[in-house]
């Protein structure tokens, strides 16, 4: 078992590698035989890594005499895919992706519908977590987004568990059932909620990513009107710390608002409860002050 693990950690041809130049720069690149990766601090020959070096190795850029900068070769984490893949559209950041995984229950074997793949950043995260038996069906109406997402999915080696295709989920019947989760990253998620409800299994989860509060309100009311419970909205802020010997404090820059995440869980349509009595009407209280009562002396 130990030998197998060691072999799996050796860099193979076409593997994605995460190059770290000390604490300054980072790149997500593919290790192709016979090719060289050039940086402003020298170059790295992939042939010296493939089948020779394990992930986590420390190497030095060439020419050694004039460059010789220290690089670390790491195995990419899911967050590295998001932050360093090629993209043109706004991405969902790792902080939001992590929350989506936790609040939807996505894991190995999950079947997911994603509407609005963009550059494929979140798509790759989802694909990484549903392996080996799950699947992500991702849709978009923009040809450029579809092409870019497909390239990123292939670079990440996830084409076996991710399907990228053109489709408007507001109009197209996806012909999918018993889906575990639907993720909506589109301009009007509230319009899609009544349509995608039929794809979800009972107790299945939905997540709507929206940048504005006006969208959040519409998403919330649409979910509640379409047999979803546990409807909540969360905004997650991220702040790193600058750690020094005598000057530890928050970094000057931070990732502030990226978007609002609205979650819900599908249940059976509303049913009246036949086992609980209706609340009795409130008792009427009559003020008898000053009124004659039986038994009191009268003038006649």
Mean local confidence (pLDDT), 238-260: 85
pLDDT value of position 185: 93
For the segment 223-238, what is each residue's pLDDT rounded down to a tens digit? 999 999 999 999 988 8
**What span, in angstroms and rounded, lies between the C-alpha atoms of 150 and 158?**
10
CATH 3.10.330.20 intervals, the chain: 10-76
pLDDT value of position 93: 81
CB 138 within 8 A of CB 183: no
- Which CATH number does the domain 10-76 belong to among 2.40.100.10, 3.30.1360.20, 3.40.50.300, 3.10.330.20? 3.10.330.20
Among 147, 153, 155, 116, which residue's Cα sits nearest to residue 135?
153
CA 274 to chain centre: 40
**What span, in angstroms and rounded, lies between the C-alpha atoms of 86 and 144?**
12
CATH 3.40.50.150 intervals, the chain: 79-266
> For the whole model, what pTM was predicted?
0.75
The angle that helices 213-224 and 189-196 make with each other, rounded to 10 degrees, is 20
For the segment 65-93, what is each residue's pLDDT rounded down to a tens digit? 888 899 999 988 877 877 776 655 566 78
Pairing of the two strands 111-115 and 179-184 = parallel
pLDDT value of position 1: 43
- Which CATH number does the domain 79-266 belong to among 3.40.50.150, 3.30.160.60, 3.40.50.620, 1.10.10.10? 3.40.50.150
């Amino acid at each position: 078992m130990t030998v197998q693990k060691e072999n799996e950690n050796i860099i193979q041809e076409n593997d994605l590698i995460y190059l770290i130049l000390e604490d300054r720069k980072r790149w997500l690149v593919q290790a192709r035989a016979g090719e060289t990766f050039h940086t402003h601090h020298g170059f790295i020959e992939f042939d010296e890594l493939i089948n020779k070096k394990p992930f986590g190795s420390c190497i030095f850029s060439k020419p050694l005499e004039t460059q010789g900068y220290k690089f670390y070769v790491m195995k990419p984490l899911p967050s590295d895919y998001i932050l360093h893949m090629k993209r043109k559209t706004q991405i969902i950041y790792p902080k939001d992706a992590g929350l989506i995984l936790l609040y939807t229950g996505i894991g190995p074997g999950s079947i997911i519908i994603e509407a609005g793949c963009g550059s494929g950043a979140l798509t790759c995260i989802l694909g990484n977590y549903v392996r080996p038996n799950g699947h992500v069906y991702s849709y978009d109406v923009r040809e450029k987004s579809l092409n870019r997402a497909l390239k990123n999915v292939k670079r990440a080696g996830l084409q076996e568990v991710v399907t990228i295709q053109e489709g408007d989920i507001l109009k197209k019947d996806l012909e999918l059932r018993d889906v575990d989760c639907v993720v909506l990253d589109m301009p009007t998620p509230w319009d899609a909620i009544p349509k995608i409800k039929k794809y979800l299994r009972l107790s299945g989860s939905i997540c709507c990513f929206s940048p504005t509060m006006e969208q959040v309100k519409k998403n919330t009311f649409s979910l509640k009107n379409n047999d979803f419970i546990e409807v909540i909205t969360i905004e997650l802020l991220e702040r790193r710390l600058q750690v020094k010997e005598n000057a530890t404090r928050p970094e000057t820059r931070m990732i502030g608002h990226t978007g609002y995440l609205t979650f819900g869980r599908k249940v059976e349509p509303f049913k009246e409860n036949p086992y609980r009595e209706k609340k009795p009407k409130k008792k009427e209280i009559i003020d008898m002050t000053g009124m004659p009562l039986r038994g009191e002396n009268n003038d006649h």
